[in-house]
Structure 1
Amino acid sequence: MALEIIKGKKSEFSFTNEHMLRGHEQEPIARRLYEETNFVDITHGGFFDCVEYGDSPDGLVGNDGVIEIKSVTAAVHYATLQRGSFDPSYKWQLIGHLDCTGRNWVDFVSYCADFPENKQLIIHRLQRKDCDEEISQLCIRRKDFLNLIGETIAIIQRG
């Protein structure tokens, strides 16, 4: 990130794998199923520019909600079904959506086409009112991270 700031452009190299490609291909299907299941329309999340950082959720629901869609393998989907909650590896991404968008809730959407039709979509809602402590933690960690980037830029430019 420090190099991208110094150079004023994105890195030429990025990471992609088969799971990310599947997610891009299947996200529209999951989005449509979510809309049909909840009788809502989802608008594109876009990018929320918070000056020194930003956020790009998968979609906005009405005036209060945001969604994060994960198109996952059968094993991951099954683990989410058993857990009865969102995948904890995405916790801070969900908290970041709440923080940057100012929305009241975020729905974590797990989608797996390999499951029976009535079990392909799992939705778990995280309410902003239940995340005050985590949002505060995120703000502190973000400040520390931005300071680290600033220090890294200074070292590179001095060297």
Structure 2
Amino acid sequence: MYEKYSRQCLPSKQYREILGSAICVFNSNNSFIIENILNTDQAKNFKWSILIDKVSGHLLPIIEKTITTKSNNEIAKLFCEIIAERNRIIHSYQATDSTASTDDPDHQILITKHKDGRQEPITEEYLLKFIAKNQKLSTLLYSYRDSLKNDTK
């Protein structure tokens, strides 16, 4: 599929919409993680301007020092899984895959290569599962934030 703004072949609009949504929900949760770190950090050891510049994986030890100490490791564990999946999406490459389920007549899709050499198409189903995992994380983060508010009452 071609667009006015690019001469390069692109996946279908629907695929790109889901892909964009997947990136947006991850970015939203990354910011929400930072908000919860800052709300937990009573000693004010962390600053938003420093945290926002960190690679997502570098937030994990900070989550352990803050959020996990006030709750459990469920948020940290899920965020770690999501980061790994996001990395597979971001570090993917575009290819033609006529076996992939897509509405694109040119069969353009992203494919990722895992560190063990295994290749995997980034299908719409993969992206929707990623979005659903992010929703679960968002729900956990909201519950965590609400528990902090209740602790201060």
TM-score strictly above 0.5: no
Kindly indicate whether structure 1 or structure 2 has the higher relative contact order, using CA contacts under 8 Å at least 6 residues apart. 2
Q: Give the structure with the larger helix fraction.
A: 2
Give me the TM-score of the superposition, normalised by structure 1.
Answer: 0.32
Give me the TM-score of the superposition, normalised by structure 2.
Answer: 0.33
Q: Give the structure with the larger strand fraction.
A: 1
